[in-house]
Structure 1
């Protein structure tokens, strides 16, 4: 299992740095200063730049003569209405974090079904990134339909050997490579849960970019589930925040728990405004990003093959969303140093941070293709791969284990 995608790394060769914070500052400066990148997250920006962006775009998404929000009215309520409309649900509630929204949803369903057991993948966000909050705060228990690095199957849901009240599906499953089931498989999963008298909750932190893979609208995807959580910063480049959408009675109950959890924030207009701007500016472009991610993934394979890397994997081969993984047989620090050096020396940031993979000497990075990435041609990607590999010490070509534990003997 891959652990959380952290940001730790050593400084590039020849750099004199004391410890993590300085190293992080150098890495951030390198990627922020790169003229060419596949995406430019909000964390690259300065405070002044983020404020300027917000004031420059917010007026296109909401009337700025409106009064400020107070405990969830005004622009926050407008955002909630927008989300409910987009997803086709009765209501939606804004939350300061997705972790809070999802915990509240799952505890509400546990109370309604009378069953505190949640079936979910062991690589799902609550299991990897939330410090056991489901059990510590809500007394819930989890079961895993599969430990394979893929979405569960309907048969695995039907064959679980104990009852569960909620099936939580993370769409896409980030840690496994931003993987999605097919539309038919998703319907079968929902049917299998219903046959077990369970409700279905979608962890849709990145749901916004899933529609192209399914060939369906967001409303059609959301309609399969009893509740849906969506994020405003992962794909929409907002400041933060999340929403829980579903039946009005569930959302009303969730608002009560939001207050108990400390999520009834006095004013949240900057976050809400940035979310509305993201829905207006980024959401319509996500299908374009998904399509170009497939072009980039194919070009990465070409570039890595030409560079004679001893083994690699672009996973999945055809990205399901605008994000995917690249695996290489080198340690994470070496690869991150190469990425930083490439950004500093050439102004091109192909990859960012690398992280230890599923076996010693194997590392993984996440590739995101957004607005800046759509300007890259396949030839641009191949050249960038050559520049990156040239900065990586290349060992002799030997078989190395893949992320699934199988051996690989050369470029794939």
Structure 2
């Protein structure tokens, strides 16, 4: 194993040994995942073959939740969005996609849009937020599709207001463009917008959702939209190698997430606001420069920035888990600002027992270990 493998194994073992975990929860073993899925009803039915059976059941359910004519299962979100943007480019006759430079295709897909589909990207804004209506209207060249990532993860899981979202969609329509939502984490957006999932999705021409980022699934995604769009998406899914023989374990996990995690997301979003405030106050009292972004989280996820080396913070994080059986943070990485590290906090079921006093005590232990390191 490499040193990175050793570090990861140590971190996972330390978190799994904890009595309390704030962010993300304890990483489950394969046996634990299988045991959970084995408790579901309906497991005596036949397995799926090339997208029928339980896969079609999940597609139907997602279409109902999002208020679209159809939804199409994909093994990965990257493939789903490649297909969506390729389909819209063909239909609009314009290969230009307007999106944020921090959006997933620009940050995490190795230039796949241009390499595989011949698409080109332009950026309405470089600000760390969703582009606004004036920026979309002011684009100096035509574009066929406006892609909006909701929430914009690498900017801090940030969302526009409902009025800002509807305005930017209308601006795209004025430019004769279609709108695609990268909704990998769309599931947790209704509390912020004050509108249900189907009304949010209804603003766009197509929507992608993930089954593991918010719902705790194994893998997989869905692409939702009109029936003719879904039919074309299925064609390109096959061409991209996404028509897998059997996918029932991942689909079972997705259905389990829709059953058990989706109803709890509003509770997580509400609790994240108190956790973020408690972290900000406790860290500011003893850590010097600190930033919690957004100060009031838009979803159940947010960023924490500290003026310290990521190596120091990662060692303190693991040592805290090993020595106190409390895991406060996940992994730290270098931020865009030199000398600053950033970590993402996800408030889920394991965080609901954390009140401000619990957060404050854990922060004090963490800062003590940072100083020692």
**TM-score of the two chains, using structure 2 as the length reference:** 0.98
Candidates 87, 91, 105, aligned match of 1:126: 105
Q: Is the 8 A contact 1:39 1:371 kept in 2?
A: no
Using the TM superposition, give the Cα deviation of residue 50 of structure 1 relative to its aligned residue in structure 2, in angstroms. 1.2
Using the TM superposition, give the Cα deviation of residue 151 of structure 1 relative to its aligned residue in structure 2, in angstroms. 1.3
What whole-Å deviation, never above 9, does each CA across 1:24-63 have from its counterpart, x for those lacking one? 1111111122211124457x1221111111112x32xxx2
Instruction: Give me the CA root mean square deviation.
Output: 1.3
Matched, 1:317 2:300: no
Candidates 38, 47, 50, aligned match of 1:55: 38
Q: Is the 8 A contact 2:320 2:365 kept in 1?
A: yes
Using the TM superposition, give the Cα deviation of residue 394 of structure 1 relative to its aligned residue in structure 2, in angstroms. 8.2
Partner secondary structure for residue 391 of structure 1: helix
Q: Is the 8 A contact 2:23 2:330 kept in 1?
A: no
Candidates 130, 135, 150, aligned match of 2:129: 150
What whole-Å deviation, never above 9, does each CA across 1:204-253 have from its counterpart, x for those lacking one? 00000000000000000000000000000000000110000000000000
State the alpha-carbon separation in 2 of the partners of residues 34 and 86 from structure 1.
Answer: 36
Number of equivalenced pairs = 373
Matched, 1:80 2:59: yes
Matched, 1:24 2:8: yes
Using the TM superposition, give the Cα deviation of residue 383 of structure 1 relative to its aligned residue in structure 2, in angstroms. 0.8
Candidates 321, 325, 340, aligned match of 2:318: 340
Q: Is the 8 A contact 1:203 1:228 kept in 2?
A: yes
Q: Is the 8 A contact 2:95 2:143 kept in 1?
A: yes
State the alpha-carbon separation in 2 of the partners of residues 341 and 253 from structure 1.
Answer: 51
Partner secondary structure for residue 382 of structure 1: helix
Q: Structure 2 stretches of 5 or more lacking a match?
A: none
Using the TM superposition, give the Cα deviation of residue 393 of structure 1 relative to its aligned residue in structure 2, in angstroms. 2.6
| Residue of structure 1 in register with 2:284 after alignment | 305
Partner secondary structure for residue 371 of structure 2: coil
Candidates 326, 329, 344, aligned match of 2:304: 326
Partner secondary structure for residue 393 of structure 1: helix
Matched, 1:387 2:365: yes
Q: Is the 8 A contact 1:331 1:362 kept in 2?
A: yes
User: Which 10-residue stretch deviates more, 116-125 or 381-390?
Assistant: 381-390
Change (3 A) 1:207 1:18: closer
State the alpha-carbon separation in 2 of the partners of residues 177 and 196 from structure 1.
Answer: 28
Using the TM superposition, give the Cα deviation of residue 23 of structure 1 relative to its aligned residue in structure 2, in angstroms. 1.4
| Residue of structure 1 in register with 2:236 after alignment | 257
Candidates 68, 89, 100, aligned match of 2:68: 89
State the alpha-carbon separation in 1 of the partners of residues 241 and 332 from structure 2.
Answer: 35
User: Which 10-residue stretch deviates more, 28-37 or 114-123?
Assistant: 28-37
Change (3 A) 1:343 1:71: same
State the alpha-carbon separation in 1 of the partners of residues 248 and 4 from structure 2.
Answer: 33
Question: Where does structure 1 differ by over 6 angstroms across 4 or more consecutive aligned residues?
Answer: none
Q: Is the 8 A contact 2:23 2:329 kept in 1?
A: no
Matched, 1:117 2:96: yes
State the alpha-carbon separation in 1 of the partners of residues 372 and 137 from structure 2.
Answer: 47
Matched, 1:108 2:91: no
